[in-house]
């Protein structure tokens, strides 16, 4: 039985550059790093209200190798202002994957491709806020 999202992992050919870019995007430093043969191999950040994990893995360690193009998977992260978050990601060097779109009342999505070829989604989702309020009383 699925109990909830724990970690989203993105791949990078240049793990140090990806670490620096995501530290800037997220406004926090990674809390975990693992090296293999004295070379960084995996880095992890804790993000948001539930401290979900965003992992970055060196492409050398991806089982089966990495495809050159993003496939169809998009992990969406809740933000308070999709348009502002989208603009900031593009200003930091991401490219447009999908412009902000209102999908219904209280539901807006957008996505970018990070400088390392991963698709990063941002979303305003009223349901997320309702669940957070129920759990925390906020």
Average pLDDT, the chain: 89
Helix (H, G, I), strand (E, B) or coil at 49: coil
- Kindly give, in sequence order, each residue whose CB lies less than 8 Å from that of residue 67, ignoring residues fewer than 6 positions away: none
Positive/negative CA dihedral, 23, 28, 29, 33: negative
The tokens 């991806």 sit on which residue? 62
List of domains in the chain = 1-61 (3.30.720.120), 70-138 (3.10.180.10)
Taking only the tens place, the pLDDT of each residue in 84-115 is 999 999 999 999 999 999 988 888 999 999 99
The pTM of the full predicted model, rounded to 2 decimals, is 0.84
């Amino acid at each position: 039985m699925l109990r909830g999202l724990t970690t989203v992992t993105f791949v990078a050919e240049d793990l140090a550059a990806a670490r620096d870019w995501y530290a800037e995007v997220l406004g926090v430093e990674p809390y975990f790093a693992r090296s293999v043969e004295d070379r960084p191999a995996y880095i992890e950040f804790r993000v948001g209200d539930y401290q979900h994990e965003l992992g970055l893995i060196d492409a050398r360690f991806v089982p089966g190798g990495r495809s050159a193009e993003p496939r169809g998977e998009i992990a969406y992260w809740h933000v308070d202002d999709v348009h502002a978050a989208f603009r900031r990601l593009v200003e930091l060097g991401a490219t447009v994957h999908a412009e902000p779109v209102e999908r219904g009342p209280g539901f807006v999505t957008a996505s970018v491709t990070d400088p390392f070829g991963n698709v990063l989604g941002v979303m305003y989702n009223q349901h997320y806020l309702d669940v957070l309020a129920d759990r925390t009383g906020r």
